[in-house]
């Protein structure tokens, strides 16, 4: 299963799948349409995975697979200076799929203090490509140079 979502999306998926799993005992085969239409995150996933929502066992298996996939997913934490729109998120997902792989959760945090660029944390490794870091380094070098004896 391929799953590439943001952290918020993964939380929604987990919550909805939890609700559905708990309510499965009330549902008879073919009668799952009461709970299912209310879900916002699970529905598109089921459509993508071609899950037969009338088959209770298939639904249960799909939900468990989704939860396991999310649990085993790698997490990329991105700290950016602006609130990303849908277009940006889509571009990000495409790039991640091409360069990192699928089954990744994008944890996007907003910190206007970095001014621009991004701070990345992936598999415990930290990289700072923020504008504030570049400017700090620049001013540090400038001060070092300006303090050199003439």
Partner 1 sequence: MSASYRGKEFETYLHETGETGYAQMVSHPIVYIVGLPGAKINEVVLFDNGEIGWILSLPEGLVEVLLLSVHPMRIGAQVVRTESLLQVPVGMGLIGHTVNALGRSLYKTEPIHYDEMRAVESLAPGIDKREKITQPMETGVVVIDLTVPLGKGQRELVIGDRKTGKSEFLLQTLLTQSKAGTVCIYACVGKKRIDIKKVENFIQRNNLSENCMVVASSSSDALGMIYLTPYGAMSMAEFFRDKGRDVLLIIDDLTTHAKFYREVSLLSKKFPGRASYPGDIFYTHSRLLERAGNFAGENGPVSITCLPVAETTEGDISGYIQTNLMSITDGHIFFDTEIFDAGRKPSINYFLSVTRVGRQTQSKVRWGINRELFSFLSLYEKTQAFVHFGAELNEGIKSTLSMGDNVFTFFNQPMGQIIQLNLQIVLFCLIWVGSLKTSDSANARVLFDKASALYEADPEFRNRVDTLVNSVDDFNALLGRIAPMSGEFMSYLNAK
Binding site for partner 1 (CB under 8 A): 121, 123-128, 133
Considering beta carbons, is residue 13 or 119 the nearer one to partner 1?
119
77 phi, psi to nearest 5 deg: -100, 125
* Nearest distance, CB of residue 18 and partner 1, angstroms: 19
Residue 77's DSSP bridge partners are 107, 121
- CB-based contacts of 139, cutoff 8 Å, min separation 6: none
* Nearest distance, CB of residue 75 and partner 1, angstroms: 9
- Mapping DSSP to helix (H, G, I), strand (E, B) and coil, where does residue 75 land? strand
Nearest alpha carbon to residue 30 among 48, 49, 57: 57
Considering beta carbons, is residue 24 or 121 the nearer one to partner 1?
121
* Nearest distance, CB of residue 51 and partner 1, angstroms: 31
Considering beta carbons, is residue 60 or 107 the nearer one to partner 1?
107
């Amino acid at each position: 299963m391929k799953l590439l979502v943001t952290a918020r999306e993964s939380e929604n998926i987990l919550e909805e799948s939890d609700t559905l799993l708990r309510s499965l005992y009330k549902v008879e085969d073919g009668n799952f349409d009461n709970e299912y239409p209310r879900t916002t995150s699970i529905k598109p996933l089921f459509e993508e995975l071609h899950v037969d929502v009338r088959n209770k066992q298939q639904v249960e298996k799909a939900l468990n697979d989704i939860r396991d996939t999310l649990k085993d997913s790698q997490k990329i934490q991105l700290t950016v200076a602006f609130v990303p729109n849908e277009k940006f998120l889509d571009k990000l997902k495409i790039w991640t799929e091409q360069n990192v792989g699928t089954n990744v959760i994008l944890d996007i945090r907003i910190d206007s203090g970095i001014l621009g660029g991004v701070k990345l944390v992936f598999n415990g490794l930290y990289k700072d490509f923020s504008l504030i870091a570049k400017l700090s380094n620049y001013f540090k070098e400038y001060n070092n140079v300006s303090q050199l004896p003439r």
